[in-house]
Amino acid sequence: MSDPTRRRLHLNAFLMEAGHHEAAWRLPHSNPRADFDLRHWIELAQLAESAKFDSLFLADGPALIGTGEFRPPGQLEPLTLLTALSQATSRIGLIATVSSTYNEPYNLARRLASVDHVSGGRAGWNIVTSAGADEAANFGLVNRPDHAERYARADEFLHIAKALWDSWESEAVVADKTTGRYADPARLHRPDHRGTYFSVAGPLNVERPPQGYPLLVQAGSSEDGKDFAARHAEAIFTAHQTYERAAGFYADIKARTRAAGRDPDGVIVLPGIVPYIGSTEEEARALAKEFDELRVPEYGLRQLAAVFETEPSVFELDAPLPDFILARPKLEGTQSRSDLIIELAVREKLTVRQIISRLGGGRGHFEFIGTPEQVADTIIAWFEGGAADGFNIMAPALPSGLESFIEHVLPILRGKGLFREEYKGTTLREHYGLPVPPNQFHPEATRVSGG
Amino acid sequence: MSDPTRRRLHLNAFLMEAGHHEAAWRLPHSNPRADFDLRHWIELAQLAESAKFDSLFLADGPALIGTGEFRPPGQLEPLTLLTALSQATSRIGLIATVSSTYNEPYNLARRLASVDHVSGGRAGWNIVTSAGADEAANFGLVNRPDHAERYARADEFLHIAKALWDSWESEAVVADKTTGRYADPARLHRPDHRGTYFSVAGPLNVERPPQGYPLLVQAGSSEDGKDFAARHAEAIFTAHQTYERAAGFYADIKARTRAAGRDPDGVIVLPGIVPYIGSTEEEARALAKEFDELRVPEYGLRQLAAVFETEPSVFELDAPLPDFILARPKLEGTQSRSDLIIELAVREKLTVRQIISRLGGGRGHFEFIGTPEQVADTIIAWFEGGAADGFNIMAPALPSGLESFIEHVLPILRGKGLFREEYKGTTLREHYGLPVPPNQFHPEATRVSGG
């Protein structure tokens, strides 16, 4: 029936507390304590797995978010949560954000390898460089490292992590009970890295992960971020408000990947979409309105101020963005987010009130309000038009928004042969159609890993 | 029947790959790839839980152990493994070693809090300061911090970790759907720590752990280590070759705890025991001999050399320890281990061959060869004589040695009313009879937490 050579959509379930909309926790059926309730996360993970999503994803940062006054400000440490979820699922990929700026390569490479082992090859790492001042203050830094320096450190971090993951050849363990010889020391490699930011001897004390390396994911859209993605990323989460912007980004990242000497098909581009789904357009609009009316405007103002590193008082709710915001130079931390907001505000001539309403659902990701057919058509148009290899599904409320997508949109995509009916592989790399990277220390490997 | 006020034994199952004996992996029934086989660990955890052990424990260090030539050299990252095990068990406590020298307080406090959340209050942290040169080399350190400095850092680390765990008052989350008010910012506390080794703003982005703090465990037996334990530890793992030494340590640590202003009953002292159990003494001796004959002497020599920070070639197998070893001043890294070996060698007039044989089973812990009655009598004598509050059970082979202890020794202890038939509580603190520490930021708490 289905053509096995046909290009298929990849779908990631981006999970977040009671939903991506900032006021989701206030909905009548929401669990407002979802963040620390493991049953909530297990329910979501099993729901996404039952629908055969490629993966689920947890965003993160090592600091409390805001003041907590209007929105849940915390989250379980994501690799801990992924590990717990790995034991309640068997096939879905498990991706979490972890900072390369506030971790040591040996510890993090080991933890990621361990999650890959206990999950049977389902771990993915969304590499972030942690822009925030709140994060820096939790690690003794008064002056945050700048954008370029954070990416230089991340690049060296990845170089070390790959060498650590490669430090056990697959044939290293002999385990000969007769002779008492356990491993072949010549097949346990010491990276002995000495660089600008790190000195790490190795070898790692964990066997090579089942996937070789965990899937390497990236989400920064600055110039430094895109160059980093071209060198290292195998999947990219990205935020675009229009098809044109998404298509431009897609072409750009594939070209950069090719220029970096890698196969562009080895990088899966996944724009975010926040779908408000109704059986009619009117129902969908009513749903979006229900969310919008639950927002606390003060929260949105504070979030907007944080992105522009200013005070909420500089904004007037019913006026456009102030000129000094529109004219200011690029910011260190949140470049792509602030650029995206300015572009949206100018293109659609939005007031501050309208901007914070538009950002409330997906923090700058593409919100789409419509029927299941319209959601599916949009996804297909982006996918077939060269703007996406799949989507990062960001349900405004969880689990209800994910249930709605699975129940109403997925059957349409499946009916067109665009999304799997069953998992074929067992690892995250297999779901995304990506190979296990060769081991850089293995004598038979003639090239350095491109993954 | 049983007297509820009676003092009860606490038992911890110290798990290690295919067993604590260095050659355990060579036994016919052993799984030599146990380290990275999650099923092995789940089997052990469920076995210990079925026997109602207070806790299980994983030792660790952030470096590959030795060369791997004669013994499995790696291990899954222990908090990852504990998290996986938390989902396959429901009552047993889960303790892992993590270094305070090679972690950041914010990250580690968050991870431990998260393990406590996903396990329903069963997390314990064995705080180590990481003496090894191999470990230092994985974190860019050419000159290792010295003993006193590592403990000073650990002390500051604990101070910060406790403040971070306390940073959410239990009433902080309001979650009022009607008003949109989520948390009370006045009940989210910023430790704003600025000290010698760390600056950490906070608050933690994780709710206070179910246990308040994870159970704090310690195992160093140096003077610095014992003072640290007196200030912070709630359970202590310790190694003694004789009842007299164990009783002396017990009295010393309880006195130091009292001197530090804490209740000595709030510190559970757990010496290690490596039991070789046979239905007759002869059978037990034959079992111990079977292990001993599987040892590779070269491995033992290398281990001995590592403890004394010298080369294997300085030892002669059939001679006593060289004089320069006996006379040398105390070493930085492995003080208590090297002292213990010298004392054992001198007291029992052992040759190097005999020393490495004696160390092969439990790396200096108390090996006991005998019948179930003899093992039980020894445990009871130490417990009732004031040398132990319980034991750290270190089976020479796993699972067989733990099965043997459970099947043959536990019924004797239970017959005397010394060990629980069923769990009464659900948290690790409840199993050890220890309270949830008060929150230092809570207005009703009139004293600083002593835990």
pLDDT tens for B134-143 read 999 999 876 6
Residue B444 — pLDDT band, cuts 50, 70, 90? low
Which residues of A are less than 8 Å from B23 in CB distance? Answer: 180
Which helix (H) or strand (E) element contains residue A266? none
Contacting residues for B113 by C-beta, under 8 A, at least 6 apart:
A77, B164, B165, B204, B206, B207, B208, B209, B214
Note whether B103 contacts A: Cβ–Cβ < 8 A. yes
Contacting residues for B179 by C-beta, under 8 A, at least 6 apart:
none
Which residues of A are less than 8 Å from B110 in CB distance? Answer: 62, 77
Nearest residue of A to residue B142, measured between CA atoms: A199
The dihedral of CA B377, B382, B388, B391: what is its sign?
negative
Residue B220 — pLDDT band, cuts 50, 70, 90? confident
Phi then psi for residue B417, to 5 deg, are: 70, 20
Candidate from A6-10, A180-184, B103-107, B447-451 with smallest mean pLDDT: B447-451
pLDDT at A444 over 90: no
Which residues of A are less than 8 Å from B72 in CB distance? Answer: 182-183
What 8-state DSSP symbol labels residue B315? -
Residue B357 lies in a domain: no
* Mean pLDDT (whole number) for B130-152: 86
Please say whether the beta carbons of A381 and A239 come within 8 A: no
Which residues of B are less than 8 Å from A107 in CB distance? Answer: 62, 77, 102-103
pLDDT of amino acid A447: 38
pLDDT of amino acid B63: 96
Give dist(CA B149, CA B101) in Å, integer: 10
**What single-letter amino acid sits at A280?**
T
Which residues of B131-189 form beta strands (DSSP E)? 173-176, 181-183
Q: Give start and end residues of each alpha helix (H) in A233-317.
A: 243-259, 281-294, 297-307
- The better pLDDT of the pair B6, B38 is held by B38
Contact B296 A79 (CB under 8 A): no
**What single-letter amino acid sits at B249?**
F
pLDDT at B437 over 50: yes
Nearest Cα residue to B238 out of B394, B444, B425 = B394
The dihedral of CA B219, B223, B224, B226: what is its sign?
positive
Please say whether the beta carbons of B321 and B355 come within 8 A: yes
pLDDT at A451 over 90: no
Nearest Cα residue to A60 out of B223, B333, B106, B355 = B106
Note whether A172 contacts B: Cβ–Cβ < 8 A. yes
Residue A114 exposed, middle or buried by CB count within 10 Å (0-12, 13-18, 19+): buried
Using a pLDDT cut of 70, give the percent of chain B over it.
95
Q: How many Cβ atoms from other residues are within 10 Å of residue A17's Cβ?
A: 22
Contacting residues for B9 by C-beta, under 8 A, at least 6 apart:
B379, B383, B389, B390, B391, B413, B418, B419
- Phi/psi zone of residue B349: left (φ > 0), alpha (ψ -120 to 50 degrees), beta? left
Note whether A28 contacts B: Cβ–Cβ < 8 A. yes
Contact B77 A23 (CB under 8 A): no
pLDDT at B362 over 90: no
pLDDT of amino acid B446: 38
pLDDT at B14 over 60: yes
Residue B344 — pLDDT band, cuts 50, 70, 90? confident
Residue B288 lies in a domain: no
Residue A116: strand, helix, or coil? helix
Task: Name beta bridge partners: B188.
Answer: B168
Looking at the 3D structure of chain B, how many domains does it have?
1
> CA of B296 to nearest chain A CA: how many angstroms apart?
7
pLDDT of amino acid A330: 66
Is the ipTM higher than 0.90? The answer is: yes
pLDDT of amino acid B29: 96
Which residues of B are less than 8 Å from A132 in CB distance? Answer: none
Query: Mean pLDDT of all residues in chain A?
Result: 93
Which residues of B are less than 8 Å from A193 in CB distance? Answer: none
pLDDT at A88 over 80: yes
Residues 260-299 of A with CB under 8 A from B: 294, 296, 299
Residue B3 — pLDDT band, cuts 50, 70, 90? low
**Model pLDDT for residues A266-318, shown as the tens digit of each residue:** 999 999 999 999 999 999 999 999 999 999 989 999 989 988 889 999 999 99
- The better pLDDT of the pair B138, B222 is held by B138
Nearest residue of A to residue B73, measured between CA atoms: A205
> CA of A287 to nearest chain B CA: how many angstroms apart?
18
pLDDT of amino acid B229: 96
Residue B300 lies in a domain: no
**Model pLDDT for residues A4-13, shown as the tens digit of each residue:** 678 999 999 9
Nearest Cα residue to B134 out of B92, B99, B185 = B99
* Mean pLDDT (whole number) for A154-166: 97
Using CB atoms, which residue from B26, B185, B202 is nearest to A69? B185
Contact A77 B296 (CB under 8 A): no
Residue with tokens 């997390």: B123
pLDDT of amino acid A187: 96
Residue B127: strand, helix, or coil? strand
Please say whether the beta carbons of B180 and A70 come within 8 A: yes
Domain of B410, in residue numbers: 10-277+366-431
Cβ-Cβ contacts under 8 Å between A and B: the total is 227
pLDDT at B332 over 60: no
Residue A52 — pLDDT band, cuts 50, 70, 90? very high
**Model pLDDT for residues A250-268, shown as the tens digit of each residue:** 999 999 999 999 999 999 9
Query: Mean pLDDT of all residues in chain B?
Result: 93
- Mutate which: A138, A144, A164, A190, vs B, most B CBs within 10 A: A138
Which residues of B are less than 8 Å from A81 in CB distance? Answer: 114, 118
Residue A291 lies in a domain: no
pLDDT at A449 over 50: no
Instruction: Retrieve residue A190's tokens.
Output: 């010491």
Candidate from A320-324, B284-288, B420-424 with smallest mean pLDDT: A320-324
Give dist(CA A371, CA B347) in Å, integer: 83
Q: How many Cβ atoms from other residues are within 10 Å of residue A195's Cβ?
A: 16
Residue B169 — pLDDT band, cuts 50, 70, 90? very high
Give dist(CA A310, CA B182) in Å, integer: 24
Contact B80 A32 (CB under 8 A): no
At what angle are helices B223-232 and B243-259 packed, to 10 degrees?
A: 50
Using CB atoms, which residue from B104, B134, B188 is nearest to A139? B104
Please say whether the beta carbons of B155 and B233 come within 8 A: no
Residue A443 lies in a domain: no
- The better pLDDT of the pair A236, A131 is held by A236
What 8-state DSSP symbol labels residue B273? E
Residue A182 lies in a domain: yes
The CATH number given to whatever domain includes residue B115 is 3.20.20.30
Residue B322 — pLDDT band, cuts 50, 70, 90? very high
pLDDT at A418 over 70: yes
pLDDT at A37 over 50: yes
Give dist(CA B260, CA B158) in Å, integer: 15
Contact A204 B137 (CB under 8 A): no
Note whether B175 contacts A: Cβ–Cβ < 8 A. yes
pLDDT at B13 over 90: yes
> CA of A271 to nearest chain B CA: how many angstroms apart?
27
Residue B22 lies in a domain: yes
Instruction: Retrieve residue A288's tokens.
Output: 């979006």
Note whether B115 contacts A: Cβ–Cβ < 8 A. yes
Total residues found in chain A within this entry: 451
Candidate from A319-328, B176-185, B233-242 with smallest mean pLDDT: A319-328
Which helix (H) or strand (E) element contains residue A111? helix A105-118
Residues 200-239 of B with CB under 8 A from A: 200-207
Q: Half-sphere exposure of residue A280, counting CA atoms within 13 Å on the CB side?
A: 3
Give dist(CA A185, CA B143) in Å, integer: 26
Candidate from A112-121, A321-330, B98-107 with smallest mean pLDDT: A321-330
Note whether B169 contacts A: Cβ–Cβ < 8 A. no
Distances (CA, A) of A41 to A44, A58, A86, B384: 5, 10, 11, 46
Residue B302 lies in a domain: no
Q: Half-sphere exposure of residue A148, counting CA atoms within 13 Å on the CB side?
A: 0
Nearest Cα residue to B377 out of B451, B311, B305, B281 = B281
Using a pLDDT cut of 90, give the percent of chain A over it.
81
Q: Half-sphere exposure of residue B230, counting CA atoms within 13 Å on the CB side?
A: 20
**Model pLDDT for residues A359-394, shown as the tens digit of each residue:** 877 777 899 999 999 999 999 999 999 999 999 999
pLDDT at A66 over 90: no
Contact B140 A64 (CB under 8 A): no
* Mean pLDDT (whole number) for B279-304: 94
Q: Distance from CA of residue B1 to its chain's centroid?
A: 33
